[in-house]
Structure 1
Amino acid sequence: MPVAQVPANSVLPSGARIIIIVSSGPSALAPGAYVVMPELLGKSQGKALAQLQEEGLSAQVFNDYSDAYKRGDVIGQLPAGGVGVPAGAEVVLLISSGKASTPSHEQMLPDVIGQHEAQAVSTLQGAGFSPQIVRRPSATVPAGVVEEQLPSRGSLASTSAKKGTPWWVWALLAAVLVVAGLVAAFALGGSKTVMVPDLVGLTQAEAVKVLEAAGLGVTVVAAPEGDPGVVTSQDPAAGSEVGKSSVVQIAVFQGTELTAVPDVRGKNQSEATRALQDAGFEVRVTRKDSAFVDKGLVIEQDPAGGDGAPQGSTVSIVISSGPAQNNVSVPDVEGLTRADAQSMLLNLGLKVVVAENPSTEVATDVVIAQLPAAGDSVAPGTSIGIVVSTGPPTTVDQVPTPDVVGITLADAQQVISDAGLEAIPVVSVGSGKPANQVVAQTPAAGVQTQVGSKVVLFYSSGP
């Protein structure tokens, strides 16, 4: 990679650690394919690492202070975006730790590109800075010579133009980590310790990924407050030096306490409902056809079994209605004779429930009313209630038909009986109403009916 010609004399706080890339000479392996280094400035650490992995690159990550970028965002990168790098190469990212708590005295940043390592280190230390050395192979720069530095005047100017705020609030370097798993294009020294990365503000998944990449273990404890799923604190602190394979504890706010949802797939509705209610959940039931799950069993559920959900929340279950059937359109049988109405309905694969009531307007043995109504779409085998006239009433005693839709079948039967009428129950499948709730009636509520007449009550088989 060619040496970048960067002007010297940028202003930075004293004590800032400067990353210098020192050539280790030509690589023993010839480079293969090249990929384009993505532009990562301003992106979150998690997104930047994910994008690098998509490009087949790994990263050495440093944390430092910045007043121009929020905590966790990329504030610097080597190489710059758009530069071609060997596939599998390791690049350098600088991540913001937020604003520095105390200001430092400003110093002029020397340009050490092209100097030998010892001279560059001496120059930077003499100017009040702390150099951080990274080594990598180079086919064009002699071994031991500085190839690049970060920050440089060029990188500061580029950042300033993009953010509108000078990127020069540098302080102590907080962390170094290596995202492993890809073949590195350059190597570090063989230190047996690593610096703990800054994890606060990352999601739990991002923090675990960063720690695993650094060769560190992780334990997660609950935080009392914060954004759900986000790391609020860590121990050891960012920048601490620990042995490889050490465990870092992160505190994550989990939000509302969650309970594992039972897996009720394959259970019947009664068993599934009982299991979910016993676990502290409400239950919502819907139905759909299935050629693979037996009728009456749970096909699917949401949330899924094993997922966490708040106590008292609703779990939806879908009950199999069995294989799909071609529904039947209910014919209009009002005004037909009993025999003709029954024949028409039976020929369509429907069942018939007959109630007889007197009528001064409809001839004997002719259908007065029906339920479900003509034109309704029902499954084969559905019961159709018809009311057939027995001719003029034999007594003048008439009562209005009570309105019993919406109450339980038992209560409806009692109300009908108290009115001097007889109830004929007919089960209704697929109404979506609670079991045993009356969903329809004929004659309708308010119709004057002779005492002793029959009222057909359609009641739900359940949701």
Structure 2
Amino acid sequence: MCLPSPWQTARKLTPVDTTVADPLVGRVLDGRYRVESRVARGGMAAVYLALDIRLDRTVALKVMHRSLAEDPDFVRRFIGEAKSVASLSHPNVVHVFDQGTDGEHVYLSMEYVPGRTLRDVLRDRGRLPAREALEIMIPVLAALGAAHQAGMVHRDVKPENVLLTDDGRVKVVDFGLARAVDAGNQTKTGVMIGTIAYMSPEQVTAGVADARSDVYAAGVMLFELLTGHQPYQGENPMSVAYRHVHDRVPAPSSLAADVPPPLDALVLSATDRDQNRRPADATALLVAAVEAHRVLPRDMGPQRPPTGAAAPRSSGVLTAGAPPANPTLIHSRTEMLTAPAVAAPEARRRGRFRPNWFIVALVLVMIAGMAASGWWFSEGRYAKVPDLLGQNVTIAASEAKKQGFKVRLGPAEHDDKVAADRVLRTDPESGNEVLKGTTITLIPSAGKVKIAVPNVVNLSESDARSKISDVGLAVGLVSRVPSDTVQRGLVMRTSPLVGNKVTKGGKVQLVLSAGQLMPDVSEMQCDQAEAFLRQKGYQPAVVQQTDKAQPGTVIAQSPSARAEVTAGQAVQLTCSKGPDTGFHWPWENPDNVQPGQALVPIPDVRFKNVSDATRELRAAGFRVRVRRIAGAGAVVAENPLGQAPQGTRITIWH
């Protein structure tokens, strides 16, 4: 079967080797997902077909590679993918159902959609007819428009990330590179994410991507659908990137003469090198694409055969071979008014009457007038309210205005099924016949009900759970971290933070205090350890003991490191007074220094920023070991101090 594009990440997927047994196949992850088979393996994750035994449905599991799961930053990015895509409720976006961790396995649970990628279609068929190309691009732009309105940028729009399902739907996939766009700072600079062939000039030059960058990539993709080729070819990626920055994407008709002008204009607008001259986002480009599709000749693509041959509705206009709107009325009046004209030949033969051409003309005018009045009162003044339900409010308003209606936006209403900013209902309802020019009120959906996270800080876990449940939310992950200020077992903070809004029924994570834990001051110089502990509120006492460890350093402590303690507790430090044998450290006795091992001063970096301290010690020729103890950014202790040969390891605590 073809690989479903939801699992084609930014790195290219490798074929599945069915001869190698996968240890995950047959397992049940997180007590819920029974892994049936491996579908594909990519640079970031492997994709499995699995059964959600709780909901009895087939899903796709995207499981991060073990080596990457050990990197906390990469895990955060992986989880960020789930949160970004899960927030999109759109029929043209592959849905993310769940995210979780089972031991060393970090995974996403996604909608399983068998089908072919648009790249597969292009590879099999070459370029597509204009109408068919637009009918693929329109749902793609609708999906991207939903993402842009949610503050997300896809960053990697290309045929590989468009899936044509077996039942004819179009899905945009792989929002793994999408990142939430801050209101004031659209994206972080300096990171170039995407595929060179579809990358906008600003992505190439500055690593900056926003909604207009997706518009550019969509324009390049439409160019490829219409011509069968990407606009720029080169020997290497850098040459292609150079052309994106310095050349203008040509009109598709320069390669395929049958491409109509509206599609040329659409591509050239979307791929303008100046991002300020492109459509502002995918929704704006969608409006233009729908209009281009409307004006295309019907023979620009494959035609669907008629279904249900209904007779065309009469307009009431008198035409040859067609009856008037009210034939009986018009026939009787015509017969009465045209009697002299009918009798004219007979009168002429008898020489008693000449036709009155004024009356003949008057009869024709009356017939036309009555036919026109039939059209006016039958259907000329009336039109059906279009079906706008589920459409983007902006697009729906534009469509209604094109059909001659006035539009008013009503107050938004919450709905669990219709996404925010889409038409929930109309007044009058769709299908009703009303006078043209009637005002249609669009009631947009406000999406699911959002509930503010209640203030549960300093409450016990059970009280916090009760308070969160009372407002219609649920408690998710519960973690514990040490704290010198918050009593053990009480809530320190929530995620999302107190006051932020969460979809009704959504989960709130709790961070509980693990209480005060004994700091690890082993190997620290005794005077520094004693001063640090007094500053933290403990009562340290020092005892000396013969030991081979460097004199004046802590060799033991009681309570032990990370034991639960209370403020003001007594602490015993055991410090080395050196060996009895007269052993000396090399830097204390210059006679023991090996040739070429000159002693150099050790910089005193206490109370400096840990980053600056590390750089200063390394610049002086020392190795550096950093130990976290106080949770602050400044160095609180350093060992050894004084002089030492270059290459000696210096330990700093912060």
- TM-score normalized by the length of structure 1: 0.30
Using CA pairs under 8 Å that are at least 6 residues apart, name the structure with larger relative contact order, 1 or 2. Answer: 1
| Structure number having the greater helix percentage | 2
- TM-score normalized by the length of structure 2: 0.23
